[in-house]
Amino acid sequence: MSDTDTPKQLLHLVFGGELETPEGLTFRDLNDLDIVGIYPNYAEAYKAWKSKAQATVDNAHMRYFIVHMHRLLDPETAS
């Protein structure tokens, strides 16, 4: 398989935790963050995010996020 056959790797991090307030972005306890994983593309990250978000839907303070790591690693080509 050549490099042209392999899709470009665009790493995404999925993580979450309980927020101090449902409308905020400050976590209650950084030691309790749930690092779900790192995924090779947005579609795989979205599946993991959706699964975790749906599993914690009854806790209004719990939030999960997708971080576009590829944009942090190479900001000049962030698209």
Q: The CATH number of the domain where 57 resides is what? A: 3.30.70.2400
Rounded-to-integer distance, Cα 63 and Cα 21, Å: 11
Work out the pLDDT band at 78, boundaries 50, 70, 90: low
CA distances from 50 to 40, 46, 53 (A): 16, 6, 5
Is residue 2 in a domain?
A: no
CA–CA gap between residue 24 and residue 21 (Å, rounded): 5
Residue appearing with tokens 């209650």:
28
When pLDDT is cut at 50, 70 and 90, the band that residue 32 belongs to is: very high
Beta-bridge partner residues of 14: 37, 66
Helix (H, G, I), strand (E, B) or coil at 10: coil
Q: What is the pLDDT of residue 79?
A: 56
pLDDT at 3: 56
Number of domains in the chain: 1
pLDDT score recorded for residue 1: 47
Asked if the model's pLDDT at residue 9 lies above 80, the reply is: yes
User: Domain of 65?
Assistant: 12-77
